[in-house]
Amino acid sequence: MAHSGNVVISGDGYDVIDCETCGFKHVTPLPDKLENETLYRDSHYDDGERDRLNYYERDRDWWLMSYRDVLNEITQFISPNDDNTLVDIGCGAGLFLEAAKEEGWNTVGVEISTIAANHCRDKGLDIINSSFDADLTSLPKNIKVVHMRNILEHVPDPFSLINVAFDKLASGGVLVVGVPNDFNPLQEGLRKTQDYKPWWVAVPHHLNYFDFGSLEALVSKCGFNPLSRFSSFPLDLFLAMGDNYIETPSVGRECHLKRVNFEWFMENAGLSHLRQDIYRAFSNLNLGREAIVIAQKP
């Protein structure tokens, strides 16, 4: 596939282009598939800097609450029962699978990292240690949900991954796909007024950069019908208020905990539906840290 478009960011040996062919921003040149898979199979959860799995586990209860919001959104279209399977692609620490099991779904995780796959198996989760490819034959039948969060930004060919999800899903099944909401208005405003560098451009780990419009266009090109969209807390607000978590990681943890406290307040006050409505409203303004879309296979 030939890629062309205006360069929006240049870095050390790469450009990020607004690709006219793909309809979203991505790095050029792109790595090959084998090189990319090797990166995540061998080192993603063993990078020598932090224990990524414990990073998720220490906020376990909050993640489970957050994932219940996503599962509530899914059940507007498909309900869990003994015949319906939910597959989580790139399941990491397995917390979404745990939340889904608690809600009554049959669950299977697909995880390329051996370290993460073993972590999940130690918790009793059903895991396939593999990339998510067309020739993956060990998946169960009647897959009604494919959940794919924070995956598309990492792969050289997002179209291929969405097409595999389309083929694996049963008719009427839904895809839940989420990516970082990059080049959003708050990020661009911070670059313009406070001279921030584009901190969200993280090559070689992040290759593709989406917003709600380009993500919905991608899934539509692959045959899905978008049903709903929602977001997550717009962490860039902290930067706009003077909390520079980009230069000071400890400030980042403090900002994260403020976000966690806000969401627990909404939960404990019986306002979880309002919390979900707020994040739907953010999505219509192209705000929020994530762009999350639910789409259905006809």
Predicted pLDDT at 2: 81
Residues 153-199 have pLDDT tens digits of: 999 999 999 999 999 999 999 999 999 999 999 999 999 999 898 99
* CA distance linking residue 97 with residue 99, whole number of Å: 5
Residues 6-59 have pLDDT tens digits of: 999 998 888 999 999 999 999 998 887 766 666 666 666 665 445 778 888 899
Residues 6+ apart with CB under 8 A from 230: 73, 276, 279, 280, 282, 283, 288, 292
* CA distance linking residue 85 with residue 173, whole number of Å: 10
**Statement: residue 94 has pLDDT above 90:** yes
Where b means 16+ CB within 10 Å and e means fewer, 238-251 reads bbeeebebeeeeeb
Residues 195-214 have pLDDT tens digits of: 898 999 988 889 999 999 99
Nearest Cα to 164, choosing from 209, 222, 121, 221? 222
> Which tokens is 244 given?
């520079």
User: Dihedral (C-alpha) 10, 30, 288, 264: value to the nearest 10 degrees?
Assistant: -120
184 touches 214 (CB < 8 A)? no
* CA distance linking residue 252 with residue 275, whole number of Å: 22
Question: Is the peptide bond prior to 226 cis by the omega test (within 30 degrees of 0)?
Answer: no
Nearest Cα to 121, choosing from 133, 131, 108? 108
| pTM, entire model | 0.93
Residues 6+ apart with CB under 8 A from 206: 27, 153, 154, 180, 200
Predicted pLDDT at 107: 96
292 touches 178 (CB < 8 A)? yes
